[in-house]
Structure 1
Amino acid sequence: MALQSHYGKQGVLLVNLGTPDAPTPSAVNRYLGEFLTDPRVIDNLPGVAQQLLVRGIIAPVRSGIVNPFKAGGSTKLYQELWTENGSPLKYYGEVVTERVAGALGEDYSVRLAMRYQNPSIESALDELLAEQVSGILVFPLFPQYASATTGSVHQEVMRVLSRRQTIPPVQFVNSYYEQPELIRVFADNARDLGDLDQYDHVVFSYHGLPQRQLKKADDCNHCYVVEGCCNSISRVNQFCYSAQCHATTRAIAEELGFTPDRYTTSFQSRLGFDDWAKPYTIDVLEEWAKERGAKKILCFSPAFVADCLETTIEIGVEYQEEFQKWGGERIDLVPSLNDDPRWINALASMIRAETREPVV
């Protein structure tokens, strides 16, 4: 049954991860407190212990709320990231939402939500339901599925809607890691940087996940058991985050004509002492600078559709500094999709494909 009916608009909920409301200790503390107490994010602690650890130690220390006269590490990073338009993630989310709504036309009602902080999923759903939409398409802005991102979004949507007496038809987008238009935009953004042969190596850097989460999502005892399990998508790993990341890499590499020796898929943003998805991006960069004498690296971040802390600061500033210390010259970060008209068109096309009337 199609979501669209003759009685109301088709609702679309675009959801990204979230951002503090301001680059201040109190706002960052609130954001980290909500984010890190999600049991799908930190999944190895009992609820009470997680709440005490995050709200009593991690969030206050990292935000600097324990010492309002000295900003914590996370607050400093958000201060570096902030622009005259505020948080890039939220700003581009608002622009994309407006332009996708324009591209879809009057039969659709589109809202932006953040999994953590504002605008909240609950407030965005309330707005859609107040319009009496005939159906809702939940579209997470994460190309690859992970329990801690897309899974958390889906769970929160279901939690909110479960309290309503009337629940309209709801459809969830799981992933779109090989969507052709998405792949072409990333590839074209790389081409815009000039001759790609100038780079000694190409790194595809994705946000990392703890290995325990990858294994927990594996119902077939496949992850870290079968050698080369991420080299292709199959029935047993079709929802594996790591396998989907590798598939995105292969699709972009094929579009650009890269041979396998030209690139590496790696993972960034590791926290804590547990093993995370490997190889780590920082280790790959160190190896290519120190052992292989690489001077120029091209870096993609295809897990992100907008500029954010992990791209602009972590890769663009922190990794850049380390790479130069090791003898490299520069890392060129392929621009994110942001408000690129091609990305707007790709999003609108995917939404239409998910909500179109079935052929009878």
Structure 2
Amino acid sequence: MSKKATGKIGVLLVNLGTPDSPNTPDVRKYLREFLLDKRVIDIPAVARYALINGIIAPFRAPKSAKVYKELWTERGSPLLFHGLDLQKKLQAMLGDRYHVAFGMRYQSPSIKSALDELQEQSVDRIIVLPLFPQYASASTGSVQDKVMELVKDWWVIPSINFISSFCDDPGFINSFAELGRQHMAQDNYDHVIFSYHGLPERQVLKGSDKGYCQLGACCNTYNKRNKYCYRAACFATSRLLAEKLGLREDQYTVTFQSRLLKDPWLQPYTDEVLKTLPAKGIKKVLAFSPAFVADCLETTIEVGEEFREMFMEAGGEKWQLVESLNSEPMWVEAVKEMVLQY
């Protein structure tokens, strides 16, 4: 017998995932689940399985474990506890009419456990918010795919809305801009870098409006034809942030980080760009990571530490990471407004 409708609205927040611990076996387990996703590494299944299980996971896990140990805190993984903090604060802000659940695409807490929680609450409908501002098949698309795979076996499937992108959402932009302004008030920076997680160029082209995407000037505007183009969304976020921060076009650069394997990825690459800046007289850089709404390995370690070391070795004087939104009050308010719109 089906449960009575409660009138409640379920909200499912989803982020990428994190190992259960920074130990090598847990990191290896996480890498395998993550990289075996056909939307993440989009090559034939047999080749993907051999590559991940035979090469990447065995050799990369010990190295990644060392980095995760640097990232880990008393509360555990930042990506996890910031997500739980956001869930708790959003629940308090939305009130009893809503039930907010949090899950990870890979590892724990799983999307399944979060959906089970919402099913137990007998919600009338579900709003799914993958916490990736710019749509990509490998992130947002994968979350949507997993949610649909899980709910297809429910006897009663409620209405489900997906918030597929919020790259230009005013609350998101204002929240990041405010964090940037706090740093700019403390020092005079020569340049701003907006560093986004990279994607293979082929993945961007696969999802493009045929004949429109050229991986170039087509991203100078954000419109109906490139609404789901990751590169166009990254440039749209950057333009809006630059406008809020009062930056001219020559005062900021959009770059891409975290590439994997040898195929061409979105360019320019952050690590290559930053090495050229000191020779141009750019000695102080403020770095944003607007593809991430919670601090994680890619922000704290890669942008905050590794890129700073590269920049200083190249002759720079200061490299400052702008922290992610985490569960800042302005960001919680922005998420609430996005939910209410749906």
TM-score by length of 1: 0.92
Deviations 1:81-123 (A, max 9, x none): 0011100000000010011001000000000000000111111
Counterpart in the other structure of 1:223: 213
Shift of 1:195: 3.5
Aligned to 2:223: 234
Cα drift, residue 133 of structure 1: 0.7
| Alpha-carbon contact 1:220-1:236 (below 8 Å) kept | no
Report matched runs for 1:266-277 at 5 Å.
266-277=255-266
**Separation of aligned partners in 2, 1:308 and 1:89:** 5
- The answer as to whether partners of 1:189 and 1:335 remain within 8 angstroms in 2 is yes
Aligned residues: 339
> Does residue 1:125 correspond to 2:115, yes or no?
yes
Which 4+ runs in 1 deviate beyond 4 A?
Answer: none
Partner of 1:165: 155
Letter aligned with residue 145 of structure 2:
Q
Q: Which segments of 5 or more consecutive residues in structure 1 lack a partner in the other structure?
A: 64-71, 355-360
Percent of counterpart pairs with the same letter? Answer: 51
2:283 maps to 1:295: yes
Q: Which amino acid aligns with 2:284?
A: K
Matching residue's letter, 1:278: Q
Q: Name the amino acid aligned to 2:217.
A: G
Task: Tell me which residue corresponds to 2:139.
Answer: 149
Is it true that 1:348 corresponds to 2:320 in the alignment? no
Q: Distance in 1 between matches of 2:105 and 2:66?
A: 22
TM-aligned CA deviation for residue 52 of structure 1:
2.3
Matched-pair contact (CA < 8 Å) for 1:266–1:281: yes
Residue aligning to 1:69: none
CA contact (8 A) 2:5 2:123 kept: no
1:236 alignment partner, SS class: helix
Displacement after TM superposition at 1:196 (Å):
7.5
Q: More helix by proportion, 1 or 2? A: 2
For residue 209 of structure 2, give the secondary structure of its aligned residue in structure 1: coil
Structure 1 residues 178-232: Cα deviation after superposition (integer angstroms, max 9, x where no partner): 111111111111111143771111110000000010011113222226x411110
> Whole-Å Cα distance in 1 between the matches of residues 148 and 51 of structure 2?
27
Is the counterpart of residue 46 in structure 1 residue 44 in structure 2?
yes
Match for residue 333 of structure 1 among 299, 304, 321: 321
5 Å-filtered alignment, 1:53-72, equals 53-63=51-61, 72=62
Deviations 1:300-359 (A, max 9, x none): 1111001000010001111111111110112111111011011111111111111xxxxx
Aligned to 1:86: 76
Q: Are 1:17 and 2:16 an aligned pair?
A: yes
> Which whole-Å CA distance do the structure 1 matches of 2:130 and 2:208 have between them?
22
Q: Which runs of 5+ in 2 are unaligned?
A: none
Maintained 8 Å contact 1:183/1:251? yes
2 CA distance for matches of 1:22 and 1:185? Answer: 30
Deviations 1:42-77 (A, max 9, x none): 00x2112211221232112111xxxxxxxx111111
RMSD of aligned residue pairs (Cα, Å): 1.4
Q: Is the 8 A contact 2:127 2:161 kept in 1?
A: yes
Query: Residue type of the partner of 2:175?
Result: V
For the residue of structure 1 that corresponds to 2:21, the secondary structure is coil
Q: Is the contact made by 1:293 and 1:327 (CA closer than 8 Å) also made in structure 2? A: no
TM-score with structure 2 length normalisation?
0.96
Amino acid across the alignment from 2:48:
Q
